[in-house]
């Protein structure tokens, strides 16, 4: 649909951050971040508030100058190139539309610098508006639109000039949940159609999962983990990542036996043994945590073999329509969460001890520290 933008035929470019750092006085907001965004990739920076996402994005945008390292856009070093010469598309949480201009004029605005006839610019702006299903509101002013519509105008304005890369900082945070989900679908479809490189920032894990080719988990100005949504969800490298992307139970354990390429044998602090998927660097005797996702646990009436199970008591069982959410405690007192199919509802009763089991290949270990 977005013929005009694609028609101008600019290939998406990659972005590279090399040891990028940003210091504000005593605060090291971003510490030595190195990262490659591939041409055409949708990459999301995900992390809690204050983890350095916006600062990182602002350095790519040119609003902030790094205090160390460099930034490459394609084969060009843009570390010190002013914002208006980077030619990037940008969308923020606040729509930042010009209130005195019509929707169409807003979207035409970035094309001004490109010259060309007014007719051509108008056509391109209308095509961009069509891509976000707003061409019928072209003559309105921003104040006459809903929040979601204004954000779609901001989106059209960001990609109308076919920028080599689109930067988005929490663009959907101001919208309510259902509109946000709908906009996520739209952004995904647009990315597929336009094929541009996207660097996206959010603190919302579901949003990151729904949109991204790859996710960068940020923590305290550093990269905690990089990977596809599946990679990070299934193989978190730390307790932090496991908790930040999805919900996780932690079973404290000690490594009993490791052998290259074989499942790792663990002895559980709460008693019993378990085996977990092989990971690279652990040694016998090391204290670790086994990560168990709430959907991977199940309750067995009379477990045949003694491994891969922990005793738990669930004191709150809530019917959520598609599943039961059971929360309670492991024998050692740490909290645990289980999502149970309604078919298994009779296997569990509030306040009664049960054995929680899991398939070894669904569990992974991470270092013991929090
Ligand atoms: P995020 O977008 O992940 O919430 P930010 O990049 O906004 O995080 O902030 C990262 C850290 O840098 C925070 O501790 C924040 O307080 C600090 N910071 C951001 N901007 C400035 C500034 N202009 N001056 C001083 N500290 C700042
Ligand atoms: Mg931010």
Tell me the domain boundaries of the chain. Answer: 5-234, 247-367
Radius of gyration of the chain (CA): 25
So what's the pLDDT on residue 8? 47
So what's the pLDDT on residue 253? 93
- Kindly report the protein residue whose alpha carbon is nearest to atom 24 of ligand 1: 24
Ligand 1 binding pocket mutation candidate from 22, 24, 29 (most atoms within 8 A of CB): 29
Ligand 1 binding pocket mutation candidate from 20, 54, 55 (most atoms within 8 A of CB): 55
Residue 94 has pLDDT above 90, yes or no: no
So what's the pLDDT on residue 29? 98
Q: What does the pLDDT look like over 251-269, one tens digit per residue?
A: 999 999 998 888 899 999 8
Residues 6+ apart with CB under 8 A from 175: 147, 148, 151, 183
Using left for φ > 0, alpha for ψ between -120 and 50, and beta otherwise, residue 150 falls in: alpha
Distance 82 CA to ligand 1 centre (A): 21
So what's the pLDDT on residue 93? 83
Two tokens at 133?
């299903």
| pLDDT band at residue 281 using 50, 70 and 90 as cut-offs | confident
So what's the pLDDT on residue 174? 86
So what's the pLDDT on residue 3? 40
Q: What does the pLDDT look like over 286-342, one tens digit per residue?
A: 999 999 999 999 887 666 666 788 889 999 999 998 899 999 999 888 899 999 988
CA distance 10 to 330: 56
Q: What is the mean pLDDT of the chain?
A: 91
Q: Does domain 247-367 have CATH number 3.10.620.30?
A: no
pTM for this entry: 0.91
| DSSP bridge pairs for 310 | 356
- Kindly report the protein residue whose alpha carbon is nearest to atom 11 of ligand 1: 29
Query: How do strand 42-46 and strand 197-202 relate by DSSP bridges?
Result: parallel
- Give the percent of the chain with pLDDT over 70: 95
CA distance 319 to 132: 38
Average pLDDT in the 127-138 region? 93
- The CATH number given to 5-234 is 3.40.50.300
Considering every ligand atom, which ligand is closest to the CA of 67?
1
So what's the pLDDT on residue 302? 67
Residue 92 has pLDDT above 70, yes or no: yes
Quick check: CB of 49 below 6 Å from ligand 1?
Answer: yes
So what's the pLDDT on residue 360? 87
Considering every ligand atom, which ligand is closest to the CA of 56?
1
Distance 50 CA to ligand 1 centre (A): 6
Q: Vertex 293, ends 290 and 294: CA angle to 5°? A: 125
Classify each residue of 165-184 as buried b or exposed e, where b means 16 or more C-beta atoms within 10 Å of its C-beta. bbbbbbbbebbeeebbeebb
- Kindly report the protein residue whose alpha carbon is nearest to atom 13 of ligand 1: 50
Quick check: CB of 27 below 6 Å from ligand 1?
Answer: yes
Distance 57 CA to ligand 2 centre (A): 9
So what's the pLDDT on residue 279? 78
Q: What does the pLDDT look like over 5-50, one tens digit per residue?
A: 444 456 789 999 999 999 999 999 999 999 999 999 999 999 999 9
Nearest to 106 by CA among 139, 131, 63: 139
Higher pLDDT, 282 or 266: 266
Q: What is the 3-state secondary structure (H, E, C) of the chain?
A: CCHHHHHCCCCCCCEEEEEEEEEECCEEEEEEEEEEECCCCEEEEECCCCCCHHHHHHHHHCCCCCCEEEEEECCEECCCCCHHHCCCEEEECCCCCCCCCCHHHHHHHHHHHHCCCHHHHHHHHHHHHHHCCCHHHCCCCHHHCCHHHHHHHHHHHHHCCCCCEEEEECCCCCCCHHHHHHHHHHHHHHHHHHCCEEEEEECCHHHHHHHCCEEEEEECCEEEEEECHHHHHHCCCCHHHHHHCCCCEEEEEEEEECCCCCCEEEEECCCCEEEECCCCCCCCCCEEEEEECCCCCEECCCCCCCCCEEEEEEEEEEECCCCEEEEEEECCCCEEEEEECHHHHHHCCCCCEEEEECCHHHCEEEECCC
């Amino acid at each position: 649909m977005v013929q005009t933008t694609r028609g101008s035929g600019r290939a998406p470019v990659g972005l590279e951050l090399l040891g990028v750092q940003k210091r504000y006085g005593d605060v090291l907001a971003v510490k030595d971040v190195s990262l490659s965004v591939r041409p055409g990739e949708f990459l999301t920076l995900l992390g809690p508030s204050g983890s350095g996402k916006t600062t990182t994005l602002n350095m790519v945008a040119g609003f902030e100058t790094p205090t160390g390292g460099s930034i490459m856009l394609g084969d060009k070093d843009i570390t010190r190139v002013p914002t208006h010469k980077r030619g990037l598309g940008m969308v923020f949480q606040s729509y930042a539309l010009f209130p005195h201009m019509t929707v169409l004029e807003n979207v035409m605005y970035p094309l001004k610098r490109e010259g060309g006839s007014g007719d051509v610019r108008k056509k391109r702006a209308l095509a961009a508006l069509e891509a976000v299903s707003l061409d019928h509101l072209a003559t309105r002013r921003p104040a006459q639109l809903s929040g979601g519509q204004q954000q779609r105008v901001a989106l059209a304005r960001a990609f109308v000039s076919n920028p080599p890369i689109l930067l988005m900082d929490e663009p959907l945070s101001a919208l309510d949940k259902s509109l946000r989900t709908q906009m996520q679908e739209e952004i995904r479809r647009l990315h597929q159609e336009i094929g541009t490189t996207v660097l996206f920032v959010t603190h919302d894990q579901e949003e990151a999962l729904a949109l991204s080719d790859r996710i960068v988990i940020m923590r305290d100005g550093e990269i905690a983990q990089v990977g596809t949504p599946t990679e990070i969800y299934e193989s978190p490298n730390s307790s932090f990542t496991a908790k930040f992307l999805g919900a996780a139970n932690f079973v404290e354990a000690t490594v009993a036996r490791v052998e290259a390429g074989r499942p790792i044998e663990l002895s559980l602090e709460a008693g019993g043994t378990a085996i977990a998927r092989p990971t690279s660097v652990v040694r016998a005797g090391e204290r670790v945590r086994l990560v168990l996702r709430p959907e991977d646990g199940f309750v067995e009436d009379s477990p045949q073999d003694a491994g891969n199970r922990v005793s738990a008591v669930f004191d709150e069982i809530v019917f959520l329509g598609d599943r039961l959410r059971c929360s309670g405690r492991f024998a050692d007192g740490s909290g645990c969460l289980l999502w149970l199919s309604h078919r298994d509802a009779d296997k569990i009763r509030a306040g009664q001890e049960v054995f929680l089991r899991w398939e070894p290949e669904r569990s992974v270990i991470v270092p013991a520290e929090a």
